Structure 1
């Protein structure tokens, strides 16, 4: 391939039509993107949403202003695809969407937690996932979701308030 293997170099090569460079970028981001997608659309739709986002990113690679900001740019595209998928899913209930509980986990608690999270707004669910599961800071989450760090804090607060109401048997 012969290109700079840093993110910026790979993006520049991919812009020139180098599919292998884009493949390396995808490979580096895949697991993180799938985790982000799962936090919004659940296990079954996550990989499809990521793939849709990757197709869109390949087509729009020329619009990326700063190649070194590729990860945040790609995450925003995937997040938007997840929001679209979530809107299409609304109202559909599938037992298959409930992930399998880890062996050491109480199955009833795992299902209840998933059901609780699935009732939160997609952005609130994503903020909670990125904070709790991924261990990301507000400053790291903000560019991924195209919001400010203050908005990240507000979404997390609303998510916790909604979760508390749901646990008490109220509506979100």
Structure 2
């Protein structure tokens, strides 16, 4: 498995071996690569200050536990799992969110699309009242503007926690479906549903904004 850091270590196994030997360069390379993404995800559970503390605790745990790492998942996934376990505990203390295991499609009250948009007054059910705008036809500068980015960030805060986690991993951090499932401990089906619903929620917000 190719390593998550630079070319000094061609595979995870080589990087892990260096970490177990106490190679400071290997540890710094891992921190440089994963620290910012860890903080971004942690901030979805807790305050920024608490997120930073949780990630610092994660790095301490990585150093202490690397010898016990069994390689059942990628090194990156393992590090994120450590952080998620830590930050969920802190989140319960802050009472800012529910544990991920209690959220998901079964408890999510938000449909992917407003049902009223799928009941055409003449064609009936399962027909769009107004067909969604094709994003690829929108000027790139509109999608990339600072104003639109701020709208997306604000919309992300309104998306249910479980959907936001999957959106962040898949669409912001560029994780694969398998990596996301392993890190969050969810099934492939659950991951697809959460991703679909999260994207639909964001699309609805952006449609409203771009159509104004």
TM-score range, shorter-chain basis? 0.5 to 0.7
Match of 1:138 in 2: 177
The partner residue of 2:23 within 18, 35, 46 is 18
| 1:72 counterpart residue number | 77
The SS at the match of 1:41 is coil
C-alpha contact 2:54 2:83 (8 A) present in aligned 1: yes
For 2:9, the equivalent position in structure 1 comes to: 5
1:11/1:67 contact within 8 Å kept:
no
- 1:135 is displaced (CA, Å) by 4.0
Q: Does 1:59 align with 2:98?
A: no
Shift of 1:126: 1.0
Aligned mates of 1:151, 1:75 — CA distance in 2? 19
Conserved 8 A contact 1:76-1:145:
yes
Structure 2 portions without partners, runs of 5+ = 1-7, 98-144, 206-212
Q: Which runs of 4+ in 1 moved over 6 A?
A: none
TM-aligned CA distance change 1:130 to 1:40, over 3 Å: farther
5+ residue gaps in structure 1?
93-102, 168-172
Equivalence for 2:190? 151
1:28 equivalent in alignment to 2:70:
no
CA shift, 1:114, in A, is 5.6
Q: Secondary structure at the match of 2:186?
A: coil
Q: CA distance change for structure 1 residues 23 and 116 in 2, over 3 Å: closer, same or farther?
A: same
More helix per residue: 1
TM-score (norm 2): 0.55
Is this contact kept in 1: 2:42–2:83, CA < 8 A? Answer: yes
CA gap of 1:107–1:136, structure 2 versus 1, over 3 A, is: closer
SS of the equivalent of 1:39 reads coil
- Aligned partner of 1:97 in structure 2 is none
Pairwise mapping of residues 67-146 of structure 1 onto structure 2 (< 5 A)?
A: 69-90=74-95, 104-105=146-147, 113=155, 115-117=157-159, 120-121=160-161, 123-146=162-185
Task: Give the superposed CA RMSD.
Answer: 3.5
User: Over alpha carbons, which structure has the higher Rg?
Assistant: 2
Deviation at residue 20 of structure 1 after TM alignment:
3.3
Determine if contact 2:156/2:164 at 8 Å carries over to the other structure. no
